[in-house]
Amino acid sequence: KQEVTQIPAALSVPEGENLVLNCSFTDSAIYNLQWFRQDPGKGLTSLLLIQSSQREQTSGRLNASLDKSSGRSTLYIAASQPGDSATYLCAVLSGSARQLTFGSGTQLTVLP
């Protein structure tokens, strides 16, 4: 059964810092990996989707990498801003039913 782990569970950084969020998964046979952002009490916003054949995806200040063989992904946020404060969730699509398995998230606080 696929398991997804996100480290750290919480992170607090000063504004302007570059930071890395980590995601690991146990079964490397995945179709894709998605990074989401969730603000308190809200739904999830898709940030980046990396297909299994890709190594990385970029959107603005965000860059996500995927190393399928080692079961790892990282989300890099450049020049962090207070508006980046949210919970970031990693999810992998795997299995014959193409189900998403989610990590528990990293709660990020960017201090002004």
Partner 1 sequence: DGGITQSPKYLFRKEGQNVTLSCEQNLNHDAMYWYRQDPGQGLRLIYYSQIVNDFQKGDIAEGYSVSREKKESFPLTVTSAQKNPTAFYLCASSPTTTYEQYFGPGTRLTVT
User: What residues make contact with partner 1 under the rule CB under 8 A?
Assistant: 4, 31-32, 34, 36, 41-46, 49, 51, 89, 91, 93, 97-100, 102-105
**Closest CB 23 distance from partner 1, rounded Å:** 11
DSSP reduced 3-state for 83: helix
What separation in angstroms does the CA of 86 have from each of 9, 14, 76, 81, 82? 12, 14, 14, 11, 9
CB of 103 to partner 1, least distance (A): 6
Residue 18 or residue 104: which is nearer to partner 1 going by CB? 104
How many Cβ atoms from other residues are within 10 Å of residue 99's Cβ?
A: 11
Nearest residue (CB) to partner 1, 30 versus 80: 30
Q: Which residue, 17 or 42, has its beta carbon nearer to partner 1?
A: 42
Beta bridge partners of 26: none
